[in-house]
Amino acid sequence: METRNNHAGIDYDDIVPAIAIHPGEVLEEEIKARGISREAFAEQLGMPRSHLNELLRGKRDFTPAFALELERALDIHAKFWTNLQASYERDLIRIKAHRAHARHKAAVATEPAVEYAAV
């Protein structure tokens, strides 16, 4: 039986992305698409522009409280933003683990083979 994460024999939960997309990148595209400047959006949210810039550049994580502010400002459900943050964190962990595994495999592949004599 195929599930939402398993189509044609591919388990999408096992796919490791090449990069993790921070929710700030998505937010930046959204405010650009709406024609809202960073300055105006920071003012609308009641935060310093520097704080918003850190969020947009991925230097700060999206908290549930910030997700609720975005819901009020953009009419995009807070769960969307918290899910993006959770996916970003999960992808970072997967990428780190995948790279560590690849380094380990490379190290093992370059070690000289040891043959054991039959006793």
Q: How many domains is the chain built from?
A: 1
- Domain membership of residue 9 (yes or no) is no
- Reported for 43-52, long-range contacts at CB under 8 A and 24+ positions apart, including other chains, are 44/73, 45/69, 45/73
> Which structure tokens are listed for 75?
């009419």
pLDDT at 117: 67
pLDDT at 17: 74
10-residue stretch averages of pLDDT, the chain, 119 residues long: 59 76 98 98 98 98 98 99 97 86 62 66
Identity of residue 43: E
- Domain membership of residue 117 (yes or no) is no
Q: How many CB atoms lie within 10 A of CB 106?
A: 9
Domain that holds residue 31: 21-110
- Domain membership of residue 95 (yes or no) is yes
- Domain membership of residue 43 (yes or no) is yes
> Which structure tokens are listed for 42?
């920071």
pLDDT at 23: 98
- Domain membership of residue 46 (yes or no) is yes
Q: Kindly report the CATH number assigned to the domain that includes residue 85.
A: 1.10.260.40
pLDDT at 16: 75
